[in-house]
Structure formats: structure tokens, C-alpha cells
Amino acid sequence: MALFSMPIQNTNWGRDHDPSLNGPFVWEANDEDRRWADRNHGQTLERLKQLGGMSWCEMVAIVAHRKWDKADQHAAKAECEGIATARAALKSTAAKKGG
């Protein structure tokens, strides 16, 4: 797995622009993330990036491996960051154990 950087489209569903929602989102994209990108959008992560990225609720659907649905952008961003942090911690723990 390699680090992947996805541009985030700062969509706050009709509310004022919120700079705290700016991206990009950087995480270790795995094969399951790639499958969910295709399932939810019919595109690869690379193609979605070329097209300008996605909103936080689209991003969280990919990294949480679930169907996309409109959601609160702040909650989706926090969930994405939590998933990325948890994955990194698991990888670090496995590396320390030699696996």
C-alpha cells in the first residue's frame, strides 16, 4: 500500500464555505478502498483524483467501505481521519511485532 492524496471538494451543502473542510485527504489506500471507489463511483481512485476529487461524505464511504450517502461534512472528515489514524496504528503495531 502506498500513500494516496485525494483532493477534497469543499462542499458544505449550501452553507457558507468552511475552510476547515479543505483537503486533501492523505491515507494508505488499500485494495478494498479501490473496490469501493469503483462500486460507488464507477471510477478508479486515480481517475477521481484527476476529475477534481470528492466531498468528505464520498471519501468516508470509500474508506469505511460502505455505500455513499449525503452526510454532515464535518462528521465525515472526522471519520476519515479516524480511520486513517487507526490503520496507521495497526500497521505500526504489526511492524513492531515483525509482521
Residue 23 sits at the vertex; the CA angle it makes with 19 and 74, to the nearest 5 degrees, is 60
- The string of pLDDT tens digits covering residues 20-62 is 888 899 999 999 999 999 999 999 999 999 999 999 999 999 9
Q: What secondary structure, in 3-state letters, does the chain show?
A: CEEEEECECCCCCCCCCCHHHCCCEEEEECHHHHHHHHHHHCCCHHHHHHCCCECHHHHHHHHCCCCCCCCCHHHHHHHHHHHHHHHHHHHHHHHHCCC
Q: What is the pTM of this model?
A: 0.87
